[in-house]
Amino acid sequence: MIIQQLSVFLENRSGRLTEVTAALASHNINITAQCLAETADFGVLRMVVSDPERARTVLSERGFSVLLTDVLCLTAPNVPGALHRALKILSDRGISIDYMYAFAVGEKALVVLRTSDISLSVSTLLEQKQTLLSASDMYSF
């Protein structure tokens, strides 16, 4: 249930994001989910990809600063209150959310979460009958 996410640090200059997507595309690595946050000088591109280890190697060889971090992906009904219920389960156990990104399609919402304790988050959510995607499911989208 733990998924490897790439965090790529990018200078704020035109074309840098395109260089990342070109490098991944040229090695047939698919981007399943992504989020880009920026500051004045640089951005942080967080991505779940089809082959995290190979993506890290490909991007590192091209001079990008890349980290692999553990995240989880919650699947919830796309209805009001579903995300709140899952987040309340975590907060009731003292688990904080470092960041998250999400999207919904039809009746399902997918939420990528980085928490203060990934292993405890996984066990807690599963105990409470929440649905998490496996790494193989997430990488194969």
pLDDT at position 27 over 90: yes
Q: Are strands 65-77 and 31-38 parallel, antiparallel or unpaired?
A: unpaired
Helices (H) and strands (E) in the chain, counts: 5, 7
Q: Round to whole Å and give the CA distance between 119 and 46.
A: 20
Confirm if 71 and 3 have CB atoms less than 8 A apart: yes
Residue 86 is which amino acid?
A: A
Residues 35-69: pLDDT tens digits?
999 877 889 999 999 999 999 999 999 999 999 99
- Tell which of 42, 68, 94 closes a domain: 68
pLDDT at position 78 over 90: yes
64 and 110: one domain? Answer: no
pTM of model > 0.85: yes
Which band of pLDDT confidence, cut at 50, 70 and 90, is reported for residue 139? Answer: confident
Domain that holds residue 101: 70-139
Query: How high is the pLDDT of residue 138?
Result: 87
Confirm if 84 and 129 have CB atoms less than 8 A apart: no
Query: How high is the pLDDT of residue 45?
Result: 96
Q: Round to whole Å and give the CA distance between 38 and 16.
A: 13
Tokens standing for residue 7: 């965090």
- Tell which of 47, 68, 89 closes a domain: 68
19 and 63: one domain? Answer: yes
Residues 82-127: pLDDT tens digits?
999 999 999 999 999 999 999 999 999 999 999 999 999 999 999 9
Q: Round to whole Å and give the CA distance between 50 and 24.
A: 10
User: What is the mean predicted confidence (pLDDT) over 22-37?
Assistant: 96
45 and 96: one domain? Answer: no
Helix (H, G, I), strand (E, B) or coil at 137: helix
